[in-house]
Chains A and B, each alone.
Chain A
């Protein structure tokens, strides 16, 4: 059974600082996703990572994937208040009959303060 764990679960950052959110998963997968959720809102796709060593960047966020270590990271550079949200990683179930099913981590609640 695929398990996905994120840490930390809560992250309070100062504006301008850097930090990394970690996503570990328990079984082989070829796809990993990062989503953002604002309070009371739906999920917004941030990144899709498809292969070992994949790195994607958008603004102050950079995501990477190490399939050998079963680890993805979401790095935040020079945090700003607008990045405050909950961040989820989700791992695709492997196999031909996975049908794109995802297993989600618990989410990391990020708060950026002055």
Chain B
């Protein structure tokens, strides 16, 4: 199993540009999550999904959109990038049992200039 994969690893955007961060998992996990991690801070939840076709907002959803058309994929869309979206983005997945932990991808480092 590859686990949770994310692409790209790094990206520089200009203000106002848009992009999609890709996330895929091959563990047949029901739950998937997007977080952002600002320097020296913990992770904050952007969006999450409990299954294909079902998504909901987390703590910091403004400026982002998600979709989940398959169990495996959970892309995060940034529209009209702003410097405040400069961050490291992590995708995670979880099967769904009480004792389950979240498995994290390697992250995407995004800079908006």
Contact = CB atoms under 8 A, between A and B. Distances in A.
Are A and B part of the same complex?
Answer: yes
Determine chain A's interface SS by DSSP, over half rule: strand
B102 A107 contact: no
A12 interface: no
Contact of A42 (B41, B42, B99, B107): B107
Interface in B83-110: 90, 92, 94, 96, 98-107
A43 B90 contact: yes
B45 interface: yes
B98 A104 contact: no
Nearest to B3: A42
Interface residues of B, number: 27
Chain A interface size, as a band, is: 20 to 34
B68 interface: no
Given A99-B48, A106-B42, A42 B90 contact: yes
A42 B105 contact: yes
Contacts, number: 59
8 cross-chain pairs, A with B, having the tightest CB-CB distances, nearest first: A104-B42, A45-B101, A43-B104, A104-B43, A42-B104, A106-B42, A42-B106, A99-B50
Nearest to A1: B59
Contacts of A33: 101-102
A104 B102 contact: no
B42 A88 contact: yes
B63 to A, nearest CB: 19
A107 B50 contact: no
B77 interface: no
